A and B are shown apart, each in its own frame.
Chain A
Amino acid sequence: MRIVIAEDSVLLRDGLTRLLSDGGFEVVAAVPDGEQVLRAVAEHQPDLAVLDVRMPPTHTDEGIRAALAIRRMHPDVALLVLSQYVEESYATDLLSAATSAVGYLLKDRVAQVADFLDAVRRVAAGGTALDPEVVAQLMVRRRDDPMDRLTPREQQVLRLMAEGRSNQGITDALKVSPSAVEKYVTNIFAKLDLPPTGTDHRRVLAVLKYLGS
């Protein structure tokens, strides 16, 4: 799998390159800002772009803007945005343009090597990886809606779905039986008025409803 990295800190750029290479990915380019990453993506057509949010020249949201531009010009490239802080406002921008093959994680998460590599694979395969902190922030801004019909347990399950976990992942996280998780998920779909089509599609719709976008 081919990856382009945009990160202005040399230390982290080299660290990420080594981490991903050791994890079995091919880092085809590692660049220090948002403009160069657009050129690198156009040139290499990678499977995934890993983007820092705060990069030169303004050190504000270059990474988010680069992500939106990449999604517009190269819709097949998966996006994983990393930052020292996660912010609901950036997440909303990102999710308004990309609801699949997208991730937004705290940089801290790279320290949990196995989890981080899992998230990279999940996003590259078209899934989502939202930091629990982002999800909590989006939750604060959720407008009143059918969510209030969900029990606390169901909300917990939905929150884990939003983070990008599979039923198995949710089962592990909550330490409950797989059938219980199945039941929660079915209840969530029913309470959110989601028609019984393909399950994966319904998961995405549920998450989107949950995030209020």
Chain B
Amino acid sequence: MRSQRLRLPTAHAAPAALTALWSPPAWRATRNALAGLAVAVVSAVILGFPCVSWAAAIAAVTSNENNPGHIALYAAVILVVPLVLPWLVLGQTALQRSRLHATLGLEFPAALRPASLGRWPLGPLRSAATWRQLGYHVISLFTGLIGGALVLACWLLPVLTVGLLLAGDPGLFNGTGLCVLAIAVVLAAPWLARGVSHADEAAARALLGPSRSEELAERVETLARSRADIVKATDAERRRIERDLHDGAQQRLVSLAMNLGIARASLTDAPEPARKAIADAHDEAVLALSELREFIRGLHPAVLNDRGLNAALSGLAARAPLPVRVQVDLPRPAGASIEAIAYFIVSESLANIAKHARATHAEIAVTRLGNRLRITVTDDGVGGAAIPPPGDGPAGAWSGTGLRGLVQRATAVDGTLSIDSPPGGPTVITAELPCEL
């Protein structure tokens, strides 16, 4: 947006005052003031008439002498005007915005998102933006009618003066005085126009643009949407990696391990070094296969897509190096991304328990409370785990960074994750995630 400032006359006042007469900002401001005058007249009619009618109807109803036949008419006016006025305000705002755009180049972001307009017909009535816009229209009556009329007068006075002088009848004024006044007024005209425009622009920016809270709401919505997109994209990426590994590297490794197995079984009469090399290669291939499977199991197992969280947790629990009980009460799926995050939380929690907790038992419980998915992972280990504030190194018995990663995954979907781990245990990790609708 461009902004024009009033520059005060200085040592170069005379030339500046003269050049201002044909400077682009002055003309722009003048056009704006004159257009403002025209639009203000429209405002006065379109918005003024309903308001005056409404006030008159109220006055008539509250007065003692009213004709019963007119009561219905008054009532209709009293009821209909509040319904119609907001829509008139919106229409008038559109008109003012296009004027401000045409004359001053001002752009207003679509201040009212359709959602915040609400339902027809009462939506605009309840919207604070409508009332702010009405405020602008009231102010623009002054800046437009008074300011615009003054600017117009400033430019018209010299014309009038010339006309009067030509007619040889300066009337009440003496000719010289009139000429001096006309010149002074003409020189003042650009500054006046710019002053009026400046006030108009300031009012428009304050009242026609989105309010601070609307801007923030808009921003929050954008951020929430982009964050949800990132969560979904991450989830999709994990699935893709899993599929690629399954169709590629894993198949090749199985084939390799199988061929080495066949070689190992059949080449019994090969020299000892060759047999040892084949046996080592075979063992390595089997180990690589198993490590790759473990890796994918921690990342995003295919069964999660196919059968959901409940089915996928069996594999996690069975693989943990301590006895784990699983209790899942999930009558409906919670949504693919949410279940993937829940899975990750359980997976990391079990890994942490195995590494740090010195526990003998662990328990996973998953329940759905209304629209929230609650996951608790309990262990009977030594406790003392804590989520370190960002920036700290590992803390407590647990690797703090791992726990912080879990918190991040949960909060990325507006979920929560907390840990209760007194010294001596037990440790309970509780996560709550919003289910997808």
Spell out A's residues near B (CB within 8 Å): 9, 11-12, 15-16, 18-19, 22, 54, 59-61, 84-90, 106-108, 110-114, 133, 136-141
Q: Say whether B258 contacts A136, CB under 8 Å.
A: no
A140 cross-chain contacts in B, Cβ below 8 A: 314, 317-318, 324-326
Beyond A85-B301, A112-B286, 20 additional contacts (C-beta under 8 Å) are A11-B252, A22-B262, A22-B266, A61-B306, A85-B296, A85-B315, A87-B312, A89-B310, A89-B314, A107-B254, A108-B257, A108-B289, A110-B257, A111-B258, A111-B285, A113-B261, A113-B264, A133-B315, A137-B318, A139-B318
Q: Say whether B290 contacts A108, CB under 8 Å.
A: yes
* A11–B302 CA distance with the chains assembled, in angstroms: 21
- A sample of 24 cross-chain residue pairs with beta-carbon separation below 8 angstroms, ordered by A number, consists of A9-B251, A12-B254, A15-B254, A15-B258, A18-B262, A19-B262, A54-B246, A54-B302, A61-B307, A85-B297, A85-B302, A85-B303, A86-B315, A87-B303, A87-B307, A88-B311, A89-B310, A89-B314, A108-B254, A108-B289, A111-B282, A111-B285, A133-B315, A140-B326
A18 cross-chain contacts in B, Cβ below 8 A: 262
A60 cross-chain contacts in B, Cβ below 8 A: 302, 305-306
* Most chain B C-beta atoms within 10 Å of own C-beta, residue among A59, A112, A113: A113
Cross-interface CB contact of A112 among B247, B261, B315, B318, cutoff 8 Å: B261
Q: Separation in Å of the A30 CB from the closest CB of chain B? A: 14
The answer to the question of B250 belonging to the interface, with a C-beta cut-off of 8 Å to chain A, is: yes
Over the window 280-324 of chain B, the binary record of Cβ atoms lying under 8 Å from chain A Cβ atoms (1 yes, 0 no) is 001001100110010011000111011100111011011100001
B265 cross-chain contacts in A, Cβ below 8 A: 113-114
Chain B residues bordering chain A, tally (CB within 8 A)? 42
Closest 3 pairs (CB-CB, A-B): A89-B311, A111-B257, A88-B314
Q: What's the dominant secondary structure at chain A's contact region?
A: helix
B252 cross-chain contacts in A, Cβ below 8 A: 11
Q: Separation in Å of the A61 CB from the closest CB of chain B? A: 6
Q: Say whether B314 contacts A87, CB under 8 Å.
A: yes
Cross-interface CB contact of A84 among B250, B259, B260, cutoff 8 Å: B250
Cross-interface CB contact of B260 among A9, A11, A86, A111, cutoff 8 Å: A111
The answer to the question of B23 belonging to the interface, with a C-beta cut-off of 8 Å to chain A, is: no
B310 cross-chain contacts in A, Cβ below 8 A: 89
B261 cross-chain contacts in A, Cβ below 8 A: 110-113
* A87–B303 CA distance with the chains assembled, in angstroms: 7
Q: Separation in Å of the A113 CB from the closest CB of chain B? A: 4
| A87 nearest CB neighbor, chain B only | B303
* A90–B314 CA distance with the chains assembled, in angstroms: 11
B307 cross-chain contacts in A, Cβ below 8 A: 61, 87, 89-90
Q: Separation in Å of the B320 CB from the closest CB of chain A? A: 9
* A113–B255 CA distance with the chains assembled, in angstroms: 12
A133 cross-chain contacts in B, Cβ below 8 A: 315, 318-319
* A16–B319 CA distance with the chains assembled, in angstroms: 27
| B260 nearest CB neighbor, chain A only | A111
* A107–B253 CA distance with the chains assembled, in angstroms: 10
Q: Separation in Å of the A21 CB from the closest CB of chain B? A: 11
B259 cross-chain contacts in A, Cβ below 8 A: 15
* A198–B257 CA distance with the chains assembled, in angstroms: 40
Over the window 226-262 of chain B, the binary record of Cβ atoms lying under 8 Å from chain A Cβ atoms (1 yes, 0 no) is 0000000000000000010011001110110111111
Q: Say whether A111 contacts B297, CB under 8 Å.
A: no
* A149–B301 CA distance with the chains assembled, in angstroms: 34
B324 cross-chain contacts in A, Cβ below 8 A: 140
Q: Separation in Å of the A122 CB from the closest CB of chain B? A: 18
* Most chain A C-beta atoms within 10 Å of own C-beta, residue among B254, B255, B257, B325: B254
A112 cross-chain contacts in B, Cβ below 8 A: 261, 286
B297 cross-chain contacts in A, Cβ below 8 A: 85
| B364 nearest CB neighbor, chain A only | A140
Q: Separation in Å of the B321 CB from the closest CB of chain A? A: 11
| A112 nearest CB neighbor, chain B only | B261
| A61 nearest CB neighbor, chain B only | B306
Cross-interface CB contact of B289 among A12, A15, A111, cutoff 8 Å: A111
Q: Say whether A137 contacts B255, CB under 8 Å.
A: no
* A108–B286 CA distance with the chains assembled, in angstroms: 7
Also in contact, A108 and B255, with CB within 8 A (given A113-B262, A136-B318)? no
